[in-house]
Amino acid sequence: MQVIKISKSEKQLEDGLQCHKVGGHILTLSLSYKCGNDLVHADFARLMSVLNMPPLTAVKLQMLFAMCFARAYQEIPKYQHKDPVTSKLLLCDQCPPGTAVERHCSTEEPTVCAICPEKRFAEQWHWGDSCQHCTSVCKERQIVRRECNGTHNRLCECIPGFYLVVEFCVRHTTCSPGFGVIVQGTPERNTVCEKCSQGYFSSTSSSTEPCIPHRNCTQLGLKTVRPGTAIRDTLCESENKEFTFDCSHQHKECHTDITLCEEAIFQFLASPPLASVPVEHLSESLPGRKVDWKSVERLKKTCSPQQQGLHLLRLWREQNKDQDKLLSIIQGVNHCERKVSRCASIKNLTLEDLLSLMESLPGEKVNEEDVRALVRSCPSQRYIRQLLHLWKIQNGGQESIMGPIYKYCSVEQQLALVLILLLHSDTSTAEVLTYQHEDPLTRQILTCTRCPPGTHMSKHCTATEDTVCSPCPEDHFTQFWNYLPKCLYCSTFCVENQYIKKECSTTNNRVCQCKEGYFWQADFCIKHAECSYGDGVQQNGTLHSDTKCERCARGTFSAVMSSTSPCIKHTDCKSLDLDVVLRGTAWHDNICSACENLQNNGGLSILKKFLPHFFAHEKIRQSKLYRFVRHSLGQKLQGKHSIYSNRSLLLLPISEWIRGASIDQVKKLPMQLRDSNIHKSADKLSKMFKELEASNSNCNK
């Protein structure tokens, strides 16, 4: 026998159920192993009405019936428990899913199981004294597929277009041109691509499109001009020698795999005069986060000059999806894509329909002959996509519409204005402010108003009332107009070396930013790299890119390790009326001096100024450097292990020794380095000493 506790007023239940008072209003409900068929198949709704139970109690009782029914078909699992009173080893019933052990069985009583409290669950039969905690929130790019209940944990699933790898949602692989999708990606698995077989092709990069058959010119009563390949459709020729339109619209220089709306919008911006602007300058002028220099360099190598601006704008858009100041632009692009996707696959369109659509578009119109060729050559489901593609090409370099915009507007304003042209609306309508909802009573499709940012939908609209919106609770937000039943949790938390740039509010998630001197990479803030001696900073690190170093060119040097200092020019000794006594290298400056200084002390002051930099620059093993300082220079060192791990602790006694050394002691340094088996550095130092002596000899002439 097994006991499960429920909450119920002190009242006798139906026949077959035994009620026992345990305190004020707590009853234990007992059932034998043999659940009677009359009880199992009883009218549950009638029983609930007889008992007049609260909903929560009814659910618990329903769970009890389900458990009882299951026991009729399977043996209840057991576990061993030592009775603390009799010290006997008892065989107790385990608790079913949705419950946990409240009291172990005894020689007289069965196991007492308690229903799992809210936000806890037990998925299997077990004998634990507590239920497991439900997962608190779903991670980035995940949605709740099933909420937490007594028998199951909250189940999260990757959003469409992503699949789970380890613990992260990763975007489905895009099949390259010449490859098609044979297995669609799901939230659990990636897209599977396969090379298009003979007679099939794919001209686009897509994570959803399969290979499609080549056009059959013979069936169309046309001649084949160019056979199809894996990346291109067959090209046919009609009887009047006119070529049919090529629906594949392949880009020869650089394949464009971005959506139609992005192409149409960004193509305007990539046209003159922006096409003549170097892609690096265009990248720097764009607002928001910058595209990293590696991507820009790769783009320059891969794409033609005509395509570089277009692809840079695409990278920029991906980089700035979460930026508030660019929100209206991104929303407008998304809205445009939704509009196109809804109408792009419409079939049974006539030539008149396409011509009417063409007249409604801004800018230069597509020639009617091209529209007719499109209808003859392309399948009906591709009419609209192909027509918009033609319109994009027709207006790709147009300055009549965009000329004043380029002249008077910033890049950010240009993007917004292009959206206005494309969508025939102002920026306030770039975002959809309504949604459709089916009335559960009338089955009528209603157009409801979305809830503004900072609120969520608590009740759908009806035929007589508008949508009811409620404000987001603390630590929750909605950033867009929405019809979410719950606000989103502020799930962004700042990590090490980050600070809160913008705190969580009802309209935005928490925004974190790396501290000064750090950049964001792979979910961490990483310290900007320091350029070593002889290397200078070519490009300063930003919040999203690391420092870029370069070797100092001839005539320049860098004598410090820094993440901000560039290479600087060698000192021009002649302009100072001085002589070059030691030529500069990539890691030290020209050493200048007047002849009288060399004659007075033989360049001792110059050597003492130069030598600490020499030892700092030289790549000498720690063990050899330790031996040189300890034995050759006779410096006392303490804490060998700490010195081994910190090079600066070895360089400090060298600098102190140099300050107090005589000219003869300094001249013995090359020999002492050789004694410590540091031959390469000894040779370099000897060469510099000879150069200094030669300069001294010239002064004596």
Q: What is the mean predicted confidence (pLDDT) over 193-211?
A: 89
Residues constituting the chain: 701
pLDDT tens-digit map of 654-691: 888 888 888 788 888 889 889 888 988 889 888 888 88
Q: How far apart are CA 355 and CA 376, in angstroms?
A: 14
pLDDT at 42: 37
pLDDT tens-digit map of 571-613: 998 898 888 888 888 888 888 887 777 666 656 677 777 788 7
pLDDT tens-digit map of 313-366: 777 776 666 554 455 555 555 555 554 444 444 556 677 777 777 776 656 677
Least confident of 2-11, 232-241, 593-602: 2-11
Instruction: Say yes or no to pLDDT of 143 above 80.
Output: yes
- CB 248 within 8 Å of CB 212: no
Helices (H), 554-618: 595-601, 604-617
For the range 406-410, what are the long-range contacts, defined as Cβ-Cβ under 8 Å and sequence gap of 24 or more? 406/273, 406/274, 410/287
pLDDT tens-digit map of 395-448: 654 433 333 333 333 444 444 444 444 433 333 333 457 888 888 888 888 888
- CB 604 within 8 Å of CB 666: yes
Instruction: Say yes or no to pLDDT of 255 above 60.
Output: no
Instruction: Say yes or no to pLDDT of 254 above 50.
Output: no
pLDDT at 554: 92
pLDDT band for 551, please (50, 70, 90 cuts): very high
Q: What is the mean predicted confidence (pLDDT) over 633-643?
A: 62
Distances (CA, A) of 108 to 31, 111, 127, 608: 15, 10, 18, 94
Q: Which amino acid, 59?
A: V
How many CA within 13 A on the CB side of residue 690? 7
Instruction: Say yes or no to pLDDT of 124 above 60.
Output: yes
Q: What is the mean predicted confidence (pLDDT) over 174-189?
A: 90
Residues 6+ apart with CB under 8 A from 655: 612
Instruction: Say yes or no to pLDDT of 222 above 70.
Output: yes
Distances (CA, A) of 206 to 183, 256, 295, 317: 12, 11, 21, 19
Residues 6+ apart with CB under 8 A from 630: 637
Helices (H), 501-647: 595-601, 604-617, 622-627, 640-644
pLDDT at 409: 39
Nearest by Cα to 290 from 545, 652, 632, 24: 545
- CB 222 within 8 Å of CB 237: yes
pLDDT band for 107, please (50, 70, 90 cuts): confident
pLDDT at 399: 36
Least confident of 72-81, 171-180, 256-265, 381-390: 256-265
Instruction: Say yes or no to pLDDT of 454 above 90.
Output: yes
Instruction: Say yes or no to pLDDT of 34 above 50.
Output: no
- Range with the largest mean pLDDT of 177-186, 575-584, 592-601, 627-636: 177-186
pLDDT at 78: 92
The total of other beta-carbon atoms located within 10 Å of residue 596's CB is 8
Per the DSSP assignment, residues forming a β-bridge with 268 are none
Fold of 2-133: Tumor Necrosis Factor Receptor, subunit A; domain 2 (2.10.50)
pLDDT tens-digit map of 24-33: 333 333 333 3
Least confident of 173-187, 247-261, 270-284: 247-261
